[in-house]
Amino acid sequence: MRNSSEIIARMTGLLFPFIIMFGFYIILNGHITPGGGFQGGAVLASVFISRYLVYPDEGIRIKSLQSAEKALFFCIVVIPVLFLFANNYKSNELWNQIYLISMNMLIGLKVCSGLTIIFFRFVFYEGGK
Amino acid sequence: MIEKIFLILMVVLALITLNTVKLRRAVIYLGIFSLVSSFVYLLYGAPDVAIAEAVIGSALSTVLYLVALKKYQVFTIYYTNANYNEIHDGYIIKGRAQILRDVERFFLKREMEPQIIYTTDDCDYVLSAKNFDLLIHQDYDKVKMYGCIEDYHVDAMQDYVAKNPYENLTVEFVRYEAGDQIDA
């Protein structure tokens, strides 16, 4: 896998935008159709993992992904609390939808960065070679 | 009806996965198994679980298993032949050189994952430029095997060949010091 094959490289490059689009579709429609934050995040993480198949030697900046994940986790804790204290969720339908979509989005991005960190740590830091 | 077909297919794939000799093939069968099982989830009316199973089961975990196999157990064997012009592809694909079949069986018995690369490159070139665990160079009935001196698998291989000598092949082992070869 040192020199990745050209077929895989081209096909992955062709499929990249569709995978990203599908991931965001699953996340954004999570509250009305099947899917949601976790599934969409896993689809988005598979983008980074297929990138590893194309360029096995290049790493990614794990440090920045880690800080992004921490910030997202902070948002995931804070936003529901604020929403609860705002206390208008019983009446307003629009606010509920905005809340659901934003939470799905945050969870999706957090799952994506978490799975990517796990994968790249495993690939580059664990074990002998 | 279609449910039953896919349920039976799941059982069959699971059995194949368990009975495959090569670990890498077993990982691929496991990926197909989880793809089929995600379809069965869809048939039973759980699209949520089906998406998660399809992504995690057949994409992420398959790639993770493959990377893990690559890290720990894959034993790379290069096979060069001095008279490669006289060999046609059928000889390599179907017939397999006798020595290669034995080497592969030997490493499978030790639960390793032999990965054999046939190359038309020159023996010396492979020796200096490629990253390998064992290099087999065949010149009609003379076989030379190059292995690192600290590799205990090659030690075992040497013992094995010494115990079961071939009638028509002369096998010679060449051991180099660790670090001689350039890591590609």
- Predicted pLDDT of residue B178: 60
Cβ–Cβ contact A53 with B under 8 A: yes
Range of the domain at B40: 2-71
Within this chain, do residues B94 and B122 fall inside the same structural domain, yes or no?
Answer: yes
B48 domain residue, yes or no? yes
Residues 5-24 of A with CB under 8 A from B: none
B183 domain residue, yes or no? no
Within this chain, do residues B8 and B57 fall inside the same structural domain, yes or no?
Answer: yes
B30 domain residue, yes or no? yes
B97 domain residue, yes or no? yes
- Predicted pLDDT of residue A4: 66
Cβ–Cβ contact A25 with B under 8 A: no
B184 domain residue, yes or no? no
- Report the distance separating Cα B122 and Cα B100, nearest Å: 18
Within this chain, do residues B67 and B77 fall inside the same structural domain, yes or no?
Answer: no
B168 domain residue, yes or no? yes
Provide the number of structural domains found in chain B: 2
Give the helix/strand (H/E) hosting B144: strand B142-148
Percentage of the residues of chain B whose pLDDT score is greater than 70:
79
Burial of A111 (0-12, 13-18, 19+ CB in 10 A): buried
In this prediction the ipTM stands at 0.79
B181 domain residue, yes or no? no
The DSSP 8-state label assigned to residue B182 in this structure reads P
What are the b/e assignments for B68-88, b being 16+ CB within 10 Å? bbbeebbbebbbbbeeeeeee
- Predicted pLDDT of residue B6: 93
- Mean pLDDT over B85-106 rounds to 65
Query: Which of these three, B16, B37, B71, is where a domain ends?
Result: B71
Question: Are B71 and A115 within 8 A, CB to CB?
Answer: no
Phi, psi at B79, each rounded to 5°: -125, 115
Q: Which amino acid is located at A112 in the chain? A: C
pLDDT band for B182, please (50, 70, 90 cuts).
very low
Within this chain, do residues B51 and B77 fall inside the same structural domain, yes or no?
Answer: no
Residue A94 C-alpha, separation from nearest chain B C-alpha, in angstroms:
24
Give DSSP secondary structure letters for B155-172: HHHHHHHHHS--SS-EEE
Most confident of B5-9, B149-153, B178-182: B5-9
Within this chain, do residues B107 and B138 fall inside the same structural domain, yes or no?
Answer: yes
- Report the distance separating Cα B70 and Cα B37, nearest Å: 26
Within this chain, do residues B166 and B94 fall inside the same structural domain, yes or no?
Answer: yes
Within this chain, do residues B61 and B77 fall inside the same structural domain, yes or no?
Answer: no
- Predicted pLDDT of residue B85: 65
- Report the distance separating Cα A108 and Cα A41, nearest Å: 4
Read off the pLDDT of residues B3-48 as tens digits, 9 standing for 90 and up. 899 999 999 999 999 998 778 889 999 999 999 999 999 999 999 9
Per-residue pLDDT of chain A (129 residues; tens, 9 = 90+): 455 678 888 888 899 999 999 999 999 998 888 888 899 999 999 988 888 888 777 777 888 888 999 999 999 999 888 888 876 666 778 888 888 899 999 999 999 999 999 888 888 776 544
SS3 content of chain B, % helix, strand, coil (to 5): 60, 20, 25
- Report the distance separating Cα B135 and Cα B116, nearest Å: 10
B182 domain residue, yes or no? no
Give DSSP secondary structure letters for A45-62: HHHHHHHHHH-SS----H
Residue in the structure block whose two tokens are 């949601």:
A36
Query: Which of these three, B44, B71, B98, is where a domain ends?
Result: B71
Query: Which of these three, B39, B71, B103, is where a domain ends?
Result: B71
- Report the distance separating Cα B49 and Cα B42, nearest Å: 8
- Predicted pLDDT of residue A42: 92
Within this chain, do residues B90 and B126 fall inside the same structural domain, yes or no?
Answer: yes
Within this chain, do residues B61 and B107 fall inside the same structural domain, yes or no?
Answer: no
pLDDT of B59 > 90? The answer is no
- Report the distance separating Cα B160 and Cα B99, nearest Å: 12
More confident residue, B35 or B175: B35
Which of A35, A53, A127 minimises the CB distance to B72? A127
Within this chain, do residues B170 and B91 fall inside the same structural domain, yes or no?
Answer: yes
